[in-house]
Chain A
Amino acid sequence: MEFNFDFSFNVINIVTGILAWGIIGILAYRFYNKQSVKLKGWKVIVAILVGIFSFSINWNLLETMVKIPLLPLGVWILYLVKGRKERWKYYRSFAWLGFFANFIFLVSTLIAIPVHHALYPEDELSTFISNAEKASIIHLHPSAMDRPLNKGNLLKLLKTMKPEKIYSDQWYQEMNTNFEPSKSNERFPYQLTGTSSKWGSGLDTIIYIEEDGKGVLISTPKKQHYFHSQDSILEGGK
Chain B
Amino acid sequence: MIKQKFLIFVGSAVLVLSAVMIYWFYFSKPDSFPADEQLMEEINHVFPEAAVNIIQDTVSMDERHVVVPFISKEDDYGVTYWAWQKHKWQLLAIDTTGEPRLWKIDIKDPSTFYMVWNIHPGDQVDYMKFFIIRDRGYHVTEGIETYNPRVQMEKKVPLEGKSYGVLPLPDEWVSFMNPFIKVGSAQQPSLFFNDFFPEREMFFGWIPYDKLDKQRFPEGSVNGNRYFNGDVDIDFISILNEAEIESPR
Contact = CB atoms under 8 A, between A and B. Distances in A.
Interface stretch (A28-36, A86-94, A100-108, A216-224): A216-224
A221 B147 contact: no
A172 B191 contact: no
A212 to B, nearest CB: 14
A166 interface: yes
B249 interface: yes
B175 to A, nearest CB: 5
A168 B247 contact: no
Contacts of B243: 181-182
A206 B149 CA distance: 11
B150 A142 contact: no
Interface residues of A, number: 45
Contacts of A23: none
Nearest to B178: A193
B140 A143 contact: no
Contacts of A140: 149, 151-153, 176
Contacts, number: 116
Interface string B129-147: 0000000111110001111
B145 to A, nearest CB: 4
B242 to A, nearest CB: 7
Contacts of A6: 182, 185-186
B147 A166 contact: yes
Contact of A182 (B139, B185, B247): B247
A189 B182 contact: no
B233 interface: no
Nearest to B146: A224
Contacts of A224: 145-147
Nearest to A144: B248
A7 B146 CA distance: 25
Interface in A208-236: 208, 217, 219-224
Interface of B: 136-140, 144-154, 172, 175-176, 179-180, 182-187, 189, 191, 194, 242-249
5 contacts: A6-B182, A140-B149, A167-B145, A204-B186, A206-B176
* Nearest 8 CB-CB pairings of A with B: A221-B186, A168-B138, A143-B248, A168-B147, A188-B149, A168-B145, A166-B145, A172-B138
Given A206-B179, A219-B148, 7 more contacts: A143-B246, A175-B150, A182-B242, A182-B243, A183-B247, A205-B179, A219-B183
